[in-house]
């Protein structure tokens, strides 16, 4: 924000900022200018921040930017065979991590944490997480025995730069969608939602956790051929 305020302060209250195409960069510029005007208010006893907020509202400039995602088109382009072909091109460490993300269906940050603490979390092929991060939850996921034996290292945060569109044409966050589609269609829709943190309060956990152990054999039958192809 500090760097953006130095670079783009001249765009404050200008038509150039209004006419900029909506994007994550524009959103960050607006926030940086807002923080800069607040700093001026504190230091020089001005009212620039209030004036900027009022101006932004008059110009109907939104704070946040939501990247439009065509879920239907994404589901067609990211089928399991396409994903496996992309994973197979990776080096062995990234290949193992990507397959872990695919089979668990965890969000990238959750998968990173679960992977690095795998030895402490994995119990008989099930990783009980039960993490709460504001509106995002992670309940429990399966850990495939093939991957279990290969997770002998930790990953650094460089994986977030490696797994982007420019590098291999695959984003980690999309693997979660592929995982849900497969689990919901081949296993159990309610269990698939539980493993992705979409349901599962305290009372429901007593139902879903035993259900995971009961469905473990079926889950292995679904994912074993996929993991073998990927690795």
Q: What is the pLDDT of residues 72-94, one digit of tens each?
A: 555 556 788 888 988 998 889 99
pTM beyond 0.75, yes or no = no
What b/e sequence results for 127-155 when a residue is b if at least 16 CB atoms lie within 10 Å of its CB, and e otherwise?
bebeeeeeeebbbbbbbbebbeebbeeeb
d(CA 32, CA 39): 11
For 13-52, how does the pLDDT look when each residue is reduced to its tens digit (9 = 90+)?
Answer: 999 999 888 888 899 999 999 999 999 999 999 999 999 9
Q: In whole numbers, what is the pLDDT of the chain averaged over residues?
A: 87
For 107-160, how does the pLDDT look when each residue is reduced to its tens digit (9 = 90+)?
Answer: 999 999 999 999 999 998 999 999 988 778 899 999 999 999 999 999 988 887
CATH 1.10.443.10 location in the chain: 71-230
Cα 172 to the center of its chain, rounded Å:
7
The hierarchical CATH code for the domain 71-230 is: 1.10.443.10
pLDDT at 168: 66
Q: 């704070």: which residue's tokens?
A: 63
Count of Cβ atoms closer than 10 Å to residue 156 Cβ: 9
């Amino acid at each position: 924000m500090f760097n953006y305020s130095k670079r783009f302060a001249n765009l404050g209250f200008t038509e150039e900022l209004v006419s900029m195409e909506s994007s994550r960069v524009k959103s960050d510029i607006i926030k940086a200018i807002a923080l800069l005007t607040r700093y001026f208010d504190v230091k020089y006893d001005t009212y620039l921040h209030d004036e900027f907020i009022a101006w932004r509202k008059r110009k109907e400039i939104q704070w946040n930017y939501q990247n439009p995602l065509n879920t239907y088109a994404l589901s067609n382009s990211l089928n399991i065979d396409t994903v496996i072909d992309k994973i197979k091109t990776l080096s062995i460490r990234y290949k193992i991590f990507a397959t872990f993300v695919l089979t668990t269906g965890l969000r990238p940050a959750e998968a990173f944490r679960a992977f690095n603490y795998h030895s402490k979390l994995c119990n008989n092929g099930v990783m009980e997480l039960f993490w709460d991060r504001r509106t995002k939850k992670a309940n429990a996921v399966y850990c495939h025995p093939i991957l279990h034996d290969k997770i002998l290292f930790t990953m650094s945060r460089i994986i977030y730069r490696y797994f982007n569109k420019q590098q291999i044409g695959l984003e980690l966050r999309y693997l979660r969608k592929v995982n849900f589609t497969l689990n919901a269609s081949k296993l159990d829709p309610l269990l698939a939602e539980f493993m992705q943190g979409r349901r599962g309060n305290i009372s429901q956990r007593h139902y879903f956790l035993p259900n995971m152990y009961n469905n473990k054999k079926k889950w292995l039958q679904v994912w074993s051929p996929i993991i073998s192809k990927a690795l």
